[in-house]
């Protein structure tokens, strides 16, 4: 049960039930669809930029608890961040869920993201956790309209 509790932490359960910034943004600078064809998780990430700063970010879509809470936590952390800061968070998150970054040693930098440390014990779920982040990455890089994690 303990490993499961580590995966489904309170933060994750809370954001899954009450996702933050869960709305369509009509005046978004950019929106990108993220899709995991194997499991059907499907989200759209909306970003509004003011110069180099993310002034607003939101999401819509459906998927499992891990993917939805990840998108929710991500949007709640990104407002007011620069592209560079967002990129750094993306890298940290990626390393965390792959088990390459120790959560306890980096609690300060990770903040709420640390809740996803348990994902690294469940390799089948890494893609769920990182879907929203990959989609955001595409939005910030202005490349794809649609990304998949396959």
Partner 1 sequence: MEIASATYIEEKLKAPVPVESCRFHFPLLRRQVNGKPLVYFDNAATSQKPQVVIDAIMRYYHEENSNIHRGVHYLSTKATEAYEEARLKVQRFINARSIEEVIYVRGTTEAINLVATTYGRKNVSEGDEVLISAMEHHSNIVPWQMLCEERKATMHIIPMNDAGELLLDEYEQLLGERTKIVCLAHISNALGTINPIKRMIAAAHAKGIPVLIDGAQAMPHMRVDMQDLDCDFYAFSSHKMFGPTGVGVLYGKKELLNAMPPYQGGGDMIKSVTFEKTTYNDLPYKFEAGTPNIEGAIGLGAAIDYMKGMDLTAVAAYEHELLTYAAAKLLEIPGLRIIGTAKEKASVISFVLEGIHPHDIGTILDYEGIAIRTGHHCAQPVMQRFGVPATARASFAFYNTKEEVDVLVKAIYKVKEVLG
- Backbone region of residue 28 per phi and psi (left: phi > 0; alpha: psi in -120 to 50; beta: other values): beta
Residue whose token pair is 């792959």: 98
Residue 139 Cβ, how far from partner 1 at the closest point, in Å? 22
- Between 4 and 107, whose beta carbon lies closer to partner 1? 4
Residues facing residue 62 across a β-bridge: 42
Closer of 8 and 49 to partner 1 (Cβ) = 8
Q: What is the token pair recorded at 117? A: 């440390």
Closest CA to 83 of 140, 40, 38: 140
Residues that bind partner 1 (CB under 8 A): 3-5, 7-8, 13, 16, 38-42, 62-66, 68, 122, 124-125, 128
- In angstroms, give the least distance from the CB of 39 to partner 1: 5
Q: How far is the CB of 67 from partner 1 (least distance, A)?
A: 8
């Amino acid at each position: 049960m303990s490993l499961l509790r580590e995966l489904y932490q309170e933060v994750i359960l809370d954001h899954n039930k009450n996702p933050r910034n869960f709305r369509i943004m009509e005046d978004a600078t950019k929106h990108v669809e993220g899709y995991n064809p194997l499991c059907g998780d499907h989200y759209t990430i909306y970003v509004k930029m003011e110069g180099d700063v993310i002034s607003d970010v939101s999401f819509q879509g459906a998927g499992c608890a891990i993917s939805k809470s990840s998108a929710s936590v991500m949007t709640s952390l990104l407002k007011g961040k620069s592209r560079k800061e967002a990129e750094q968070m993306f890298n940290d998150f990626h390393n965390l869920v792959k088990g390459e970054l120790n959560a306890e040693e980096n609690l300060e930098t990770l903040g709420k993201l640390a809740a996803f440390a348990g994902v690294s014990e469940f390799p089948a779920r890494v893609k769920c956790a990182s879907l929203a982040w990959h989609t955001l990455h595409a939005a910030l890089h202005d490349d794809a309209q649609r990304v998949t994690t396959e």
